[in-house]
């Protein structure tokens, strides 16, 4: 029996190792290929060792493309969107979780129904509104429409529903206003779900491609994903070494944020699954 159990565990680890290798290999290939010249990147069999062209590729990328400007644009848009989404989603979630008002369930249902709408359905009206407001080539066109985050509202509502109502009532008896309760009690006790929603919101906006491609038509105002797509357009010479360096450059912020906050991310997702 022990031998059979050890064999099963060994086989399980082998299968998991193979799956892990397939999952990690594209990232390893990206890192290795970013150090190679354009001619070496697609050679068969693929090279398994680092080259010496990383700094040359990075220098050429800086010369040929406004990579730092695109990075700053993406970072500003993603950070601004994440902060505002966390605050507004928490405020709306708190309202749905702890207040009773007319048509509450109907309104929540309408909010959740917006999650079913494909992004493509809203592109034309959103474009016309943004142009009318003078938001073309401006970060406001990306940030403000996306603040109506139905998932964020529902996620925070589910987590805040478990906060004891007695705690809030005692604060009201002591004379605390609703905004004071929200800022001093609700937000501090909701840090894990806030961290989870923050990571998801940042990743969503950092990788946002379609809408920025449409509304940010100026190269100086464009974001990193759109800039990378411009580098591989038809009808121009593609320098894949530069593209891969730029791609690796775009992955790092998301990777760093997830590694720093993964403990809170897991706690936030878990709390959302058991508190509802």
pLDDT grade for 275, boundaries at 50, 70 and 90: very low
Query: What structural domains does the chain harbor?
Result: 65-231 (1.10.3720.10)
Exposed / middle / buried, residue 173 (Cβ in 10 Å: 0-12, 13-18, 19+): exposed
Please give the model's pTM, rounded to 2 decimal places.
Answer: 0.85
Looking at residue 268, its pLDDT comes to 64
Report how far residue 123's alpha carbon sits from residue 213's, in angstroms, rounded to the nearest whole number. 11
Report cis status (omega within 30 of 0) of the bond before 45. yes
- Residue 147: φ, ψ to 5°: -70, -20
Name the token pair of 18: 């193979």
pLDDT grade for 93, boundaries at 50, 70 and 90: very high
pLDDT grade for 138, boundaries at 50, 70 and 90: very high
3-state secondary structure of 103: coil
DSSP for 196-230 reads HHHHHHHHHHHT--HHHHHH--STTT--HHHHHHH
């Amino acid at each position: 029996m022990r031998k059979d159990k050890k064999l099963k565990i060994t086989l399980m680890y082998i299968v998991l190792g193979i799956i892990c290798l397939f999952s990690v290999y594209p990232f390893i290939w990206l890192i290795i290929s970013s150090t190679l010249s354009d001619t070496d990147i697609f050679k068969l069999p693929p090279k398994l060792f680092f080259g010496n062209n990383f700094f040359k590729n990075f220098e050429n990328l800086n010369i040929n493309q406004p990579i730092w400007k695109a990075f700053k644009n993406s970072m500003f848009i993603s950070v601004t969107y994440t902060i505002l989404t966390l605050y507004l989603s928490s405020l709306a979630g708190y309202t749905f979780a702890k207040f009773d008002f007319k048509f509450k369930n109907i309104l929540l249902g309408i909010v959740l129904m917006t999650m079913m709408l494909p992004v493509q359905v809203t592109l034309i009206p959103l474009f016309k509104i943004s142009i009318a407001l003078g938001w073309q080539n401006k970060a406001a066109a990306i940030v403000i429409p996306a603040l109506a985050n139905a998932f964020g509202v529902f996620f925070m509502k589910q987590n805040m529903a478990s906060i004891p109502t007695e705690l809030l009532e005692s604060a009201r008896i002591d004379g605390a206003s609703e905004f004071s309760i929200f800022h001093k009690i609700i937000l501090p006790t909701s840090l894990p779900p806030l961290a989870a929603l923050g990571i998801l919101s940042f990743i969503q906006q950092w990788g946002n491609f379609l809408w920025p491609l449409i509304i940010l038509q100026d190269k100086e105002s464009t974001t990193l994903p759109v800039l990378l797509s411009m580098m591989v357009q038809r009808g121009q010479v593609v320098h894949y070494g530069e593209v891969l360096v730029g791609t690796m450059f775009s992955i790092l912020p998301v990777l760093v944020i997830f590694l720093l906050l993964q403990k809170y991310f897991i706690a936030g997702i878990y709390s959302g699954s058991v508190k509802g």
